Structure 1
Amino acid sequence: MSENADDHGIQDKLWQLRCHFTWGLEIEDNAIPDLESRVMEEIEFLDTRYNVGIHNLLAYVKHLTGQDEKALQSLREAEDLVQREHADQADLRSLVTWGNCAWVYHHMGRLAEAQTYLDKVEDTCKKFASPSRYRLESPEMECEEGWALVKCGGQYYERAKACFERALRVEPENPEFSLGFAISSFRLDYDDENVISLEPLRRAVRLNPEDAYVKVLLALKLQDVGQEKEGEGYIEEALNSTSSQPYVFQYASKFYRKKGCVDKAIELLKKALEARPDSGYLHHQLGLCYRAKLFQVKNGKNMNPRRQERENVHRWVQLAIKEFQETLRLRPRFEMAYVHMAEMYAERGLYREAEENFQKALCMDNLADHIQQDIHYRYGCFQQFHMRSEDKAITHYLKGLKIEEMSFARKKLISALEKLAKRRVDQNVSVVESVSLLGLSHKLKGEVKEALLCYERALRLTDQLNPVF
């Protein structure tokens, strides 16, 4: 009875802690291997002064896979890093690690050790005059939570950004808080036209001048907003550094691919893969480069003789498919890899294989809204241009548009629907429906007058087709 009471008392205390076990990190079982792989890669290849959090996250992942002894080893490494990196505020910076230790020992049934770490947390909370015995509100704690959230996937980026934002209100010039805020903003800034991350990235580069990783992120954002020349300067700085090279190569390759220098991008990705051969993200990026080479062949001004052209197209398609297959072997829930592979199968005329891969992406749950929009857009294009099914294309353009998030994918959906509706009106195909769809596209673009004219025309056509006697 006493043991049960002790356990219940400890559980009440554990839930008051701020640590990975209480931050609501819901990680599906099939996503854990990918997360663990990414965490291990960061520990090995990402040069940063802020490594404590990544060891804490690795400990949490180890616990989720039933490896509590390895979790404790990671937590000991985190404690050692705190002593080396934050000796002047070791107790404050150890709170998350101690909280995780308490939770792991509790899961192992070692209640005395769990209580020891709870006592450490309590002593620190007293030292900093916290009104809670086991919970301390501080910018450092916000930062630790922010790092955990930003590493665990897109569904947590908004929360991560908010954590770093709260920390910056207290210490606006703190380099670590600034870096975390910039990275979480960049992850949310998925539209090329958005600029929410531009100034945070500039500030992070100013406060972390030796961090090559954040320089390449800034370069990509500058490229997005039409300042490519300035961005390339940061790319060159980062490439001339020895810091975080596999990650620098990864993002620099994306910069050069978007610039049209696809061979340079492929060269950098192959260098990155030498260090990180099991990175699904890198294989996906290489597949996108091969896809870009395909489009260069198809759109080239100096076309090759027909047979050679077909051989080049076939070669780049096959290389792209191979990389996307490897991506999905390493990251089975990478939704856009299914979509991109489907598009490559469609290029080959392998429509059954294309359909299978599109369906895998369409059936995935817990996807960000803009990702769902993009999948419906691309599947709609497949139906329209490869399967010659305009009705199915319209169905998926409309499904994508029902998701109301403002995004670049939404703009593409509106444009695709408008073009298809115009063509159907011109060709006198399902005219009432087509005119109505044209009205909808105007409405979604905020063109109220044009939308009303279309809807009035649709009504007149309906009356003509169904006269009242």
Structure 2
Amino acid sequence: MSCTVDNSLTELAKLECHFTWDMNKRDTNLTDLLTRLEQHRDLKLGQEAGTAHTHNSLAYVKYLLGSHEDALTNLKKSVELTKDGYGDNCDEKLIVTYGNFAWVHYHMKHYAECQSYLEKLKKIKQKNPPVSTSALHPQVLGEKAWALFKFSRKYYRRAQECFKKALELEPEDGEWNAGYAIVLYRTETKCASPENSSATNQLRRAIETNPDNDELKLLLALKLAEFKLFDEAEDLVERALEMSPDSPHVNRYVGKYMRTYGSLDRSISVLKRALDVSPNSAFIHHQLALCYKQIIREQPESQRFRHLSISHFEKAITLKSDFIIAMAQLAILYSEDEQIDRAEEVFQTALFTAKEKPEGVQALYLYYGEFQQYRKRNQHLAIKYYKDCLKMKPGTRDGKKSAKNLRKIANKRLSYNTNDTMGLGILKFIKQVTGEKQFTACEHFL
């Protein structure tokens, strides 16, 4: 038996499935990931194939959480959905699922069942060999891409490469085109024009192959709005709303678009409607919190909207415990509400979380620097976090704001003493990081 087990482990290591794709549980929050996947499953987002992928990812998360029987249940559901979508002749579509089955049975010490799935995979490979010994079936590449994309932001670049390779093999596949567009949308930095935007171009391509996918239309609208192409963007928003008025995924992006480029009242209305369908969406709670926060900026004395904003921020971080940007925004609202100790506590939680997750960290450093400068009156800590923010990405909005704040501190110090060591050091630091011209102390006051 020992020899058989060892042989099985050797074969298992060669499989293409969630267990061999180097997805480490330290790179994600399993509880939050489970919630997101369950929402995706319950809302039946996508076609049978997409939901089948979701059950595969759910199976892996359940395994990581120690629920092996639940993992098997999800894998069985994945097979059922795949056969519903493609018929019984769908062996290639089940390569990943069968691989996951083999691994789960192995960990449960069900060695006969494990071997049975290994045999099934051998037959599939013999019947449908890849184009070369090193190549993967496009179905495997595509599902690997989705799995990486859903598991952790740290894996977005790997997901992007997998989608790209899948499309090289099957350029007309709607699912891979959509996935590639979404991951480009999430990773692309600011572009000078829509022609230079890979995300914009791929979103157009994805809509051609997925004409009924209204979420893609909203993502394209948000990209076009960045380039001030509002006529086309608003047309896409209206078409998506008309076709999918009750979709929470569509409504949340409509709400985001309206908050940023249109009407706050309409944004709140749309987001509330989305929340009725998906009450446990951290994204929707966050968008509503931002809407109410924007009203506060226009009506500073409005305690009602301040409390509404705070309550939605609180709900968002309860639902998504590593939502760093929401934590930082909530802490700032606490500080504006004179709840300084509570704000510090939330900031510390965010800073601790940031050690494991980089998403939103640059904005966190900027917010915490401003909190230290204006609320705690701790200039040294403010300078430290402004510098940390600037070093991350000098060209971003947050990086530029930190540089501006640092310059103000330096100029104020130099206005009292043109030889102030700290002030001169700050200006030298800004020059080193950004490459900007370093002014002399006298030039700062011209």
Q: TM-score, normalised by structure 1?
A: 0.86
Match of 1:217 among 205, 216, 219: 219
Q: 1:457 to 1:243 in 2, by over 3 A?
A: closer
1:44-443 aligned at under 5 Å gives the runs 44-49=42-47, 50-87=50-87, 90-130=90-130, 137-189=136-188, 195-242=197-244, 245-298=247-300, 310=301, 312=302, 314-364=303-353, 365-368=355-358, 371-404=360-393, 407-428=396-417, 431-443=420-432
Counterpart in 1 of 2:7?
A: 9
Q: 1:140 to 1:349 in 2, by over 3 A?
A: same
Is 1:149–1:159's contact at 8 Å kept on the other side of the alignment? yes
Task: For 1:416, give the aligned amino acid.
Answer: N
Q: What 5-or-longer segments of structure 2 have no aligned partner?
A: none
Q: 1:95 to 1:250 in 2, by over 3 A?
A: same
Q: What 5-or-longer segments of structure 1 have no aligned partner?
A: 299-309, 459-469
**Percent pairwise identity:** 33
Q: 1:128 to 1:454 in 2, by over 3 A?
A: farther
Distance, in Å, in 2 between the alignment partners of 1:376 and 1:279 is 26
* Larger Rg belongs to: 1
Distance, in Å, in 2 between the alignment partners of 1:318 and 1:191 is 33
1:11-26 aligned at under 5 Å gives the runs 11-26=9-24
Distance, in Å, in 1 between the alignment partners of 2:233 and 2:200 is 11
Deviation at 1:197, TM superposition (A): 1.5
Aligned length, in residue pairs: 438
1:167-199 residue CA offsets vs partner (Å, 9 max, x unmatched): 122233321111111111111136587944111
Deviation at 1:244, TM superposition (A): 7.1
Task: For 1:150, give the aligned amino acid.
Answer: F
Distance, in Å, in 1 between the alignment partners of 2:442 and 2:140 is 58
Is 2:418–2:441's contact at 8 Å kept on the other side of the alignment? no
SS of the residue aligned with 1:388?
coil
Is 1:414–1:444's contact at 8 Å kept on the other side of the alignment? no
Task: For 1:380, give the aligned amino acid.
Answer: G
Distance, in Å, in 2 between the alignment partners of 1:193 and 1:292 is 27
Distance, in Å, in 1 between the alignment partners of 2:418 and 2:321 is 41
Deviation at 1:123, TM superposition (A): 1.0
Task: For 1:152, give the aligned amino acid.
Answer: F
Task: For 1:294, give the aligned amino acid.
Answer: I
1:139-181 residue CA offsets vs partner (Å, 9 max, x unmatched): 2211110000111121111111111011122233321111111
Distance, in Å, in 2 between the alignment partners of 1:132 and 1:192 is 37
Distance, in Å, in 1 between the alignment partners of 2:115 and 2:295 is 60
Q: TM-score, normalised by structure 2?
A: 0.90
Task: For 1:403, give the aligned amino acid.
Answer: M
Deviation at 1:397, TM superposition (A): 0.8
Deviation at 1:210, TM superposition (A): 0.3
Task: For 1:62, give the aligned amino acid.
Answer: K
Provide the aligned C-alpha RMSD in A: 2.6
Is 1:317–1:347's contact at 8 Å kept on the other side of the alignment? no
1:91-115 residue CA offsets vs partner (Å, 9 max, x unmatched): 1111000001111111111111111
Between 20-29 and 124-133, the greater mean CA deviation after superposition: 124-133
SS of the residue aligned with 1:277?
coil
Between 20-29 and 114-123, the greater mean CA deviation after superposition: 20-29
SS of the residue aligned with 1:94?
helix
1:333-363 residue CA offsets vs partner (Å, 9 max, x unmatched): 2212211110001111221111111111112
Task: For 2:352, give the aligned amino acid.
Answer: C
Between 215-224 and 428-437, the greater mean CA deviation after superposition: 428-437
